[in-house]
Amino acid sequence: MQNYEIKIDKDGLWYYNGAHMFRKDIVNLLFQHLRQDEHGRYLIEMGLDCCYLDVEDTAYIVIAVYKTRHPQTGREQIEILLNDDSCEILNLDTLRVGKENVLYCRVKGNTFDARFSRKAYYQMADFIEHEEGKNGFYVKLNEDQYNIYDDPASQINGGSNA
């Protein structure tokens, strides 16, 4: 088992040698250099320097969910706020349920998995529908239906590197 200097816990909190990294500016700088290798392991690449991370579940956490309207088209959309202080449109085609009924999606141009925080999960639940005997759970938006599927492996890419 490898010993990593930087760890991200399942709630998206960053630690360096066991000490909580509370400076948001430093954590956001690290987010800007966050990558995944060909095996799905998280690492920080800054120039020629590289540091692998111990990521308990995902690096990105959805911390808030908002239903908005596209400014030009007026169509409804769901925006999510991530733990790196960025906001993006939720790709509803990527919603899935993993272990312990945790909701996940893909973010950053479908590059990374993101775990919904408890608060964001309850905000998202306002938009989730279920019809017994049909299609399971889904989100209906602009007359389109987006099914929420179960992650068959219940193992999200890029989990712990250990």
108 pLDDT band, cuts 50/70/90, is very high
- Based on the fold, state whether residues 143 and 98 are members of the same structural domain: yes
Computed over every residue of the chain, the mean pLDDT equals 90
Query: Does position 122 have pLDDT exceeding 90, yes or no?
Result: yes
Look at the block and give the residue holding tokens 């899935």. Answer: 96
Residue 117 lies in a domain: yes
- Based on the fold, state whether residues 108 and 32 are members of the same structural domain: no
CATH number for 31: 3.10.540.10
Q: What is the pLDDT of residue 65?
A: 98
Q: What is the pLDDT of residue 46?
A: 93
107 pLDDT band, cuts 50/70/90, is very high
pTM of the model: 0.88
pLDDT tens for 84-97 read: 999 999 999 999 99
Ramachandran quadrant class, 51 (left: phi over 0; alpha: psi -120 to 50; beta: rest): beta
Residue 127: both structure tokens together: 């938009």
Q: Within 13 Å and on the Cβ side, how many CA atoms surround 110?
A: 5
pLDDT tens for 7-29 read: 999 999 999 999 999 999 999 99
- Based on the fold, state whether residues 74 and 111 are members of the same structural domain: yes
- Give every CB contact of residue 25 below 8 A, 6+ residues apart in sequence: none
Query: Does position 1 have pLDDT exceeding 60, yes or no?
Result: no
Per the structure, the complete domain to which residue 33 belongs is given by: 6-55
